[in-house]
Structure 1
Amino acid sequence: MSDNKGLASGTLGAFESAIMGIAGTAPAFSVAVTTATIVGAVGELAVGSILYCGLIMFGIMLAFTHLNKITRHAGATYAWVGKVFGESWGFLAGWGLLIASIFFMVSATTPAATATLKMFSELFGAPEAWVKDVSYVTFTAWVWLTLVTIVVIKGIQHASYAQLILTVIETVIIFALIIGAFVEYGDKPAHAFSWSWFSPTSFSAETFAQGALIAIFFYWGWDVTMNLGEETKEGTPNPASSGAFWAMVNLILFFIIMMIVVLITLTDAEIAEAETNVLYAIADKLFPKPWSYLAVLSTILSTIGTIETQILQFSRSMFAMSRDNALHPIYSKVHPEWKTPWVATFVIWFLGSVLLFCATMMPTVQMILDASITAIGIQICFYMSLAAFACAWWYRDKLNKGLGTSVSYVVWPAFSGAFMVFMALYLSYTTLMNDDSEDNLAIYLGFAGLLIGLVPMFLGKLRRAKIKQIDFNR
């Protein structure tokens, strides 16, 4: 591990880390942006997909918390996989996260933009057509991306305070929706509750893989706690690990309950029509105006929160890789006053802006989201499965340390990693066989983003070899 070069160490405790982990998945945002996609793909089995994917992701969380015992590192997966399997695999794991984060700048800022335009339409008389107009949506998304980047670059303390405020407000609004939904529609649900929603036998292999891959998007983001490990306080257990654990427990319960709320409140047609405004559609059926607009506010706040944490995760990963000369050293520059990797932060803002510009060429907002979500799912499966396998291999001697220890350190992480690989490959195969040009584009984007990483990986090897040669000649 390279020495820490200027990050604000000792800033975050376990509570702040847990808030970062929850905010990283952005509960309101995840429900708003992904519900229409997952219900469209697997219908009522979306509830089971959320549950089983949550159990798989719990195994990944165990892997991360155990690997964090090896070393706290801003690069997290990049550093751990590199230590266990070698620098090439470590680089590719880190690259997978970087690429997923860049695509996420499109899928995250878009719901914030549509929610903002929805509120302007309802409250200030802006044209309703703006909400579905790709140009207006992408420009508004770019404005949000820029504003959040400014907050992040100002320092981790500012970012953590902002996350706490946003998460508290978002939580209060969401709980009001949950209570209202069960009171109003518990006895007259749009979809009658059934335990078959949870049954593994209700799934085919294809629907299980498809639902789980989309559900991954609900959970992704909690691992930002690990990338902030160098900026946490000392303690046992480590605050980053504690934060990840409690964030995951809360998220699994929340997403299951929230998906049930969506199904009992909205019909399939209403879910499809709502697109990225599912929470507003629920609130509009529960509360009179203007109170229903609070659901739009929760989506905006949640989205801002997840944009912030993803920029943090990207910038810390790029900083760590640059610090180790895996990427160009310029990305490891830390602002002398704010103690943030400002160059790496600027990079994700710039690349996110470029992708948002490219997104204006797609015909609908929903198509933009569907393509980015699928591409991100493949990249998440790649880098998280590598971390899971690294944990299982590093701690393989614990297989004879008792059932609980062997399951926690080896069996559960290894199973979760293997299942993530299966999901990505199976869905890619079935999608390409269906020969749908739009779905195929998402698959190609997912794998192309990973393959591009071979170029900077090769350049990094040349750069390190040159440095070693110079040191040798001295």
Structure 2
Amino acid sequence: MTDEGGLGLKPDALSLPEAVIMGIAGTAPAYSMAATTATLIAVTGILAPASLLICGLVMFGVAFAFLHLTRLDPNAGAAYIWVKQTLHPVLGFFAGWAMLVMSALFMVSGTVPAATAMLQILAPGFVQNMMAVTLVAAFLMILIGLIVLKGIKLSSHFQVILTLIEVGIVAGLIIAALFASFAHPAHALSFGLLLGQDFTPSLFVSGALVAVYFYAGWDVTANLNEETRNPKRSGGVASVLAMLALMLMLIGFSAACLLTLSDDDIQKAGTDIVTTVAARILPAPWSSLAVIAVVLSTIGTLETNILQFTRTLFAMARDGVFARRYARVHAVHQTPWLSTVLVTAIGLGLLLLSSSFSSVSAIMKASASALGFQIAFYYALSCLACAWCLRRGFRSSQILLTGILWPLISALFLFGVAIGSLPTFDGVTLFVSLGSLAFGAVPLLLSRMRSAAKA
């Protein structure tokens, strides 16, 4: 937990509830619902809640892996350090590299929708103005970067406010939809459908390719381990509790969509499905709360994204994988300040290039699809690390189930989803998903050369 100057990240800064809220915010529930629910329903129909339930159970295997690994080593590097120590240093490097790449790419793919949604509320006439969208997106990046730079407590307080409002709106929307559609639902749902009784193998795989990515991001709780009270317990428990809350929200909202909207309504709604559901069941101006929830969700996950990048880079630099200056901690705020400046600068640079050159913009759009492949790769390695680490000496059936078998099944599932997604990618997306990972070989070789020169 120390850098070259003897300072480390701020210990005991986050409580268990704060860590759980960080985990919920990391997945951007409202944003994920808006961006992907219509696609999932288009693929699986009334089995969308079942897809989310099954993939949620798969993600619980990952959450349990993080729980057990956190008990062994509550490290800010999370999967990077666990995979490095348990499987192989090279695999550990690529686990960390995948996280860094995902975070850097999301700085644009996540911020632009937030800027667009903000303009829809504040200045609808500028929504189609690329310059206005870019300026608002840049403002958000700088603002959140400064908040993260100023310390984990400020970041936590800011996140708690955003996420509680977002979750309150989403929960209220789900409950209102259930009551409004009780007498005359647009689609008839049943407990058997929730359990996936009508799934065919091909339909299940198609749904899994979409549903599994709803849950990405909760693992920010692990990157904040060194800043959480009683990290060996709270860090892992926060991951599991965040996953439980997310699964209930995501399944609930997909059911609410099916109960209140027809197939044509869902198809027409597209990425506006959250606001469409709200407009169907709530009178104006209350229906506009849905837009606010999506904006807050995207801003919140931008913060957790920066936190994951900076803590991962901090841990890798502390180990000497990257230049040790990125492990420097601010003397007052106890944050990896140079890492925070770096990721903000990368985000601003990619945003500027994306808005200026169509080829870069196409790559940024492709990165949104490529993120899923990298997420599956990163999570699957963590699951394998847990199963391998606990394979000997376990003393209870609980450890066998939650520490070995469940994570191992989740790893195989995620590797299958990652491989299964490759044929669906176009050339640009394939280049981003595989090329960005392969490019990690360059800093890896440079690190090896530096180590050899010092030896």
TM-score surpassing 0.5? yes
Segment drifting more, 410-419 vs 180-189: 180-189
> Superposed, which structure 2 residues align to 1:354-433 within 5 Å?
354-360=349-355, 371-398=366-393, 401-429=395-423, 431=424
Match of 2:39 in 1: 37
Distance apart, 1:267 and its partner CA: 3.3
- Amino acid paired to 2:446: L
Does the alignment pair 1:451 with 2:438? yes
- The residue aligned with 1:256 is 251
The verdict on how the C-alpha distance between 1:65 and 1:17 changes in structure 2, with shifts beyond 3 A counting, is same
Paired AA for residue 415 in structure 1: I
Shift of 1:141: 2.7
1:107 aligned partner, one-letter code: S
Q: How far 1:389 moved relative to its partner?
A: 0.4
Q: What is the aligned residue count?
A: 451
Letter of the 1:39 partner, please give it: I
Paired residues of 1:217 and 1:377 also in contact (CA < 8 A): yes
* Distance across 1 between alignment mates of 2:99 and 2:138: 21
1:324–1:402 Cα change, 3 Å: closer
**1:259-274, aligned counterparts within 5 Å?**
259-274=254-269
- CA distance in 2 between partners of 1:275 and 1:352 (Å): 27
Per-residue CA distance 1:107-126 (angstroms, 9 max, x = gap): 322331232122135xxxx3
User: Aligned to 1:155, which of 151, 158, 162?
Assistant: 151
| 1:102 corresponds to | 104
Residue type of the partner of 1:98? L
Shift of 1:89: 1.0
Aligned AA for 2:428? L
1:168 maps onto 2:155 in alignment: no
Q: How far, CA to CA, are the matches of 1:47 and 1:306 in structure 2?
A: 23
Q: TM-score, normalised by structure 2?
A: 0.92
Matched residue SS, 1:73: coil
Please list the CA deviations of residues 181-222 of structure 1 after superposition, one character each: whole Å capped at 9, or x if unmatched: 112223333333245643545344444333223223221111
Counterpart in the other structure of 1:25: 27
Choose 212-221 or 256-265, whichever is displaced more. Answer: 212-221
Query: Per-residue displacement from partner, 1:333-359 (whole Å, max 9, x unpaired)?
Result: 222221111211122222222333444
Distance in 1 of aligned mates of 2:65 and 2:289: 37
Distance 1:113 1:202, change over 3 A: farther
* Aligned twin of 1:464: 451
Can you give the 5+ residue segments of structure 2 that lack an aligned partner in the other structure? none
State how far apart, in whole Å, the 2-side matches of 1:323 and 1:274 are: 47
Q: What is residue 64 of structure 1 aligned with on the other side?
A: 66
Question: 1:189–1:27: structure 2 CA closer, same or farther, 3 Å change rule?
Answer: same
Read off the aligned partner of 1:460 and give its amino acid letter.
S
Q: 1:104 to 1:227 in 2, by over 3 A?
A: same
Q: Normalization by structure 1: what TM-score?
A: 0.88
Deviation at 1:258, TM superposition (A): 1.1
Say if 2:74 and 2:226, in contact at 8 Å, map to a contact too: yes
**Could you tell me whether the CA contact under 8 Å between 1:111 and 1:276 is conserved in 2?**
no
| C-alpha distance in structure 1 between counterparts of 2:204 and 2:65, whole Å | 23
* 2:11 match: 9
**Cα contact 1:166–1:302 (8 A) shared by 2:** yes
Separation in structure 2 between the aligned mates of residue 91 and residue 156 of structure 1, nearest angstrom: 25
Contact 2:69/2:386 (CA < 8 Å) preserved in 1?
yes
1:344 and 1:368 map into 2 onto residues whose CA distance is 24
**Amino acid in the other structure paired with 1:57:** M
Aligned-CA RMSD value = 2.4
What whole-Å deviation, never above 9, does each CA across 1:409-444 have from its counterpart, x for those lacking one? 110011101110011101213x25xxxxxx442232
Q: How does 1:197-276 map to 2 (within 5 A)?
A: 197-200=193-196, 202-234=198-230, 238-276=233-271
Query: SS of the residue aligned with 2:115?
Result: helix
Alignment of 1:208-357 (within 5 A): 208-234=204-230, 238-357=233-352
Residue 51 of structure 2 aligns with which residue?
Answer: 49
Q: Is residue 46–residue 189 contact of structure 2 (8 Å, CA) maintained in 1?
A: no
Please tell me the residue identity of whatever aligns with 1:405: I
Give the superposition deviation at 1:137. Answer: 3.8
Task: Give the 3 Å change call, closer, same or farther, for CA 17–95 of structure 1 in structure 2.
Answer: same
Check 1:369–1:57 CA distance in 2 against 1; reply closer, same or farther (3 A cut): farther
Q: Residues 220 and 331 of structure 1: is their aligned pair in 2 closer, same or farther, counting only changes over 3 Å?
A: same
Q: What letter matches 1:315 in structure 2?
A: T
Give me the whole-angstrom Cα distance separating, in 2, the residues matched to 1:62 and 1:50: 18
